[in-house]
């Protein structure tokens, strides 16, 4: 995923305890999102809240894969992280953890996640998880230094957690359909306004490190805002697909429509005038949007997860 909370705070330069360094390698804010998205996807695949324990286990294994990918990402980017103010005190660029130790840590997490999914829930979810890890670490991560296409490519593994969760507990007749694909599409589109806000806030950092992010390139004034508006407009109908398919009801539909209008408004405000206040407002709206949508999917009576 395109570092969904990386615009919220800057790494501290104070002394960091060792356990916190290992936790930082897993990018805990991203990992918590991965867990919740995979859990929701898995639970929606079963159609019953009685399977919450199995859905939680799916979320755990998918999170292990995601945390492993985050640690591999930090190994690959340790030199560029050293050049950026917000990342220079991470454990690898600061020298508190060696690359070899970080690779071992990432490998254990990733293998645990893949083996756990394969052994407990079948090969499909494990293969999707491994493909996501490879796309994130071997394609998206190096592409950040080479091409502006990195955001588009990175949005693909970014949208995968609910689809992997869905595949883990879905039926053989419908292994990756329904809510799994719908939530993948929602998160894919959601990432662009979200990441444009982050990239604009940290454009000097990205430029200093030679990262090919749109707001960090010459002559890009206004383009981040325009992309945010375009993708927020795309997101609104995409998010309503479950309602149109009959997979969700009015609680989800009305709630998601309202969320979409708020996201569009924040994107339009940023598009009209790119400044720090509006970029941060868009970022905060984006961080609230996604968990709210996932909760609406869970609690909608028409979905029937909690029907007695």
Interval 187-206: pLDDT, tens? 999 999 999 999 889 888 88
Rg, Å, the chain Cα set: 19
Ranges of beta strands (E only) in the chain are: none
Could you report the per-residue pLDDT of 232-286, keeping only the tens digit for each? 999 999 999 999 999 999 999 999 999 999 999 999 999 999 899 999 999 999 9
Q: Rounded to 5 degrees, what angle do the CA atoms 269, 274, 280 make?
A: 75
Q: How confident is the model at residue 7 (pLDDT cuts 50, 70, 90)?
A: very low
What is the rounded CA–CA span in Å between residue 72 and residue 66? 10
Percent residues over pLDDT 90 in the chain: 66
Average pLDDT rounded to a whole number, residues 94-117? 95
Give the pair of three-digit tokens for residue 169. Answer: 């507990």
Grade residue 214 by pLDDT with cuts at 50, 70 and 90. low
Quote the mean pLDDT of the chain. 89
Q: Residue 252 and residue 302: Cα distance in Å, rounded?
A: 9
Query: CA 50 → CA 35, 89, 166, distances in Å?
Result: 18, 44, 16
Averaged pLDDT, 161-189: 90
Output phi, psi for 217, to 5 deg.
-100, 155
pLDDT at 216: 64
Rounded Cα distance, 174 and 143, in Å = 33
pLDDT at 242: 96
Task: State the Cα–Cα distance between residues 278 and 292, nearest whole angstrom.
Answer: 21
Domains, the chain, with CATH or none: 18-299 (1.10.357.140)
For residue 101, how far is the Cα from the chain centroid?
Answer: 25
The two three-digit tokens of residue 61, written as one number: 């294994």
303: helix, strand or coil: coil
- What is the predicted pLDDT for the residue at 218? 66
Over 70: is that where the pLDDT of 181 sits?
yes
Q: What does the pLDDT read at residue 74?
A: 93
Instruction: Tell me how far CA of residue 198 lies from CA of 116, 256, 281, 287, 294, in angstroms.
Output: 33, 23, 11, 11, 22
The arithmetic mean of pLDDT across residues 160-185, rounded, is 89
Instruction: Find the range with the poorest average confidence among 140-149, 214-223, 270-279.
Output: 214-223
What's the pLDDT score for residue 4? 41
Token output for 86: 């917000």
172 has a pLDDT exceeding 70? no
Which of 50-54, 123-127, 219-223 shows the lowest mean pLDDT across its residues? 219-223
Is the model's pLDDT at 221 over the cut of 90? no
In angstroms, the first-to-last Cα distance of the chain is 36
Which pLDDT does position 6 carry in this prediction?
46
pLDDT at 307: 65
Residues in the chain: 308
Mean pLDDT of 142-156: 88
Average pLDDT, integer, range 118-129: 95
pTM given for the model: 0.90
> Which of the two residues, 79 and 110, has the higher pLDDT score?
110
Q: What is the pLDDT of residue 220?
A: 63
Give the pair of three-digit tokens for residue 213: 């992010």
């Amino acid at each position: 995923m395109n570092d969904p909370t990386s615009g919220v705070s800057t790494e501290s330069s104070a002394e960091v305890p060792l356990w916190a360094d290992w936790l930082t390698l897993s990018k805990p804010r991203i990992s918590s999102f991965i867990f919740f998205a995979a859990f929701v996807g898995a639970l929606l695949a079963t159609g019953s809240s009685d399977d919450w324990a199995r859905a939680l286990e799916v979320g755990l294994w998918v999170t292990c894969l995601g945390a492993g990918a985050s640690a591999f990402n930090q190994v690959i980017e340790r030199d560029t992280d050293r050049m950026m103010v917000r990342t220079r005190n991470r454990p690898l660029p600061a020298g508190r953890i060696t690359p070899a130790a970080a690779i071992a840590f990432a490998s254990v997490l990733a293998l645990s996640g893949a083996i756990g999914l394969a052994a407990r829930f079948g090969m499909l979810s494990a293969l999707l998880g491994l493909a996501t890890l490879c796309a994130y670490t071997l394609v998206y991560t190096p592409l950040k230094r080479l091409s502006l296409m990195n955001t588009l490519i990175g949005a693909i593994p970014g949208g995968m957690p609910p689809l992997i969760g869905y595949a883990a507990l879905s039926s053989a007749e419908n292994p990756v359909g329904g809510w799994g694909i719908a939530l993948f599409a929602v998160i894919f589109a959601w990432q662009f306004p979200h990441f444009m806000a982050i990239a604009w806030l940290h454009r000097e950092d990205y430029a200093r490190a030679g990262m090919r992010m749109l707001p960090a390139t010459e002559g890009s004034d206004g383009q981040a805002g325009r992309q945010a508006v375009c993708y927020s407009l795309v997101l609104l109908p995409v998010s309503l697909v479950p309602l149109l398919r009959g997979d969700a009801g009015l609680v989800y539909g009305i709630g998601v429509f309202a969320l979409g209008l708020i996201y569009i408004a924040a994107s339009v405000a940023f598009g009209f005038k790119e400044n720090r206040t509006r970029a941060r407002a868009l970022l905060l709206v984006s961080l609230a949007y996604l968990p709210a949508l996932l909760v609406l999917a869970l609690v909608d009576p028409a979905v029937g997860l909690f029907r007695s």
